[in-house]
Homo-oligomer: A and B are copies of this chain.
């Protein structure tokens, strides 16, 4: 009559995860988001489209936006380059141009996902944290680039790296979210030039 282990709330065992099911969910998410926007992207719709039970989604992801995040982003976006060309503008370009490019097509793919996640983050505090993590993956490389530029004398040593990073990424997200002007390379050049020229040592 030894007490059996309490049933408890099992964390699901990742080894038993069905890879085909996993893939089907991510694919359904992409299809729905691109065809109908975030409004139409419901857990029910994903489950139906993927031919999957709702519980299977809830088992593996904490929120709808987390599915979107994995479906679109984690696959490639967090692989941020860590350039070190010896030239500040060049380094910034290496990091920012892919970001601008991903976000350029406002109504499709990564851009749509990014907007959706930003919206969800404003509504769902738990997801907000996760989403900030994603942005951190840009902040790190950008920070290194800026600090090295200070060491090389390309940037004022007292420049506020954090503020400059927000200036550059903010510019990108502002256009992404409002869609009032194109997120093209010309814009990227203005952003980079302004930051670099605006913070040269005297």
Contact = CB atoms under 8 A, between A and B. Distances in A.
A39 B198 contact: no
A52 B4 CA distance: 9
Given A21-B1, A119-B122, A181 B194 contact: no
Interface string A91-134: 00000000000000000000000011011111111001001100
A173 B115 CA distance: 14
B187 A163 contact: yes
A19 to B, nearest CB: 11
Given A172-B170, A173-B170, A178-B132, A164 B2 contact: no
A163 B191 contact: yes
> Could you say how many copies of this chain the assembly holds?
4
Contact of A162 (B21, B135, B181): B181
A72 interface: no
A52 B131 CA distance: 37
A186 B163 CA distance: 9
A18 to B, nearest CB: 8
A118 B177 contact: yes
Interface string A165-202: 01101111111011111000011001101111111100
A-B residue pairs, 5 tightest by C-beta: A198-B198, A170-B174, A170-B170, A194-B198, A119-B122
16 contacts: A1-B20, A3-B51, A5-B51, A118-B119, A119-B119, A119-B123, A121-B177, A163-B186, A163-B187, A163-B190, A164-B194, A167-B167, A167-B191, A196-B198, A197-B197, A198-B198
Given A1-B51, A39-B123, A195-B198, 14 more contacts: A1-B52, A7-B48, A37-B125, A38-B122, A115-B122, A116-B122, A116-B123, A121-B178, A132-B180, A160-B186, A160-B190, A170-B170, A197-B198, A197-B200
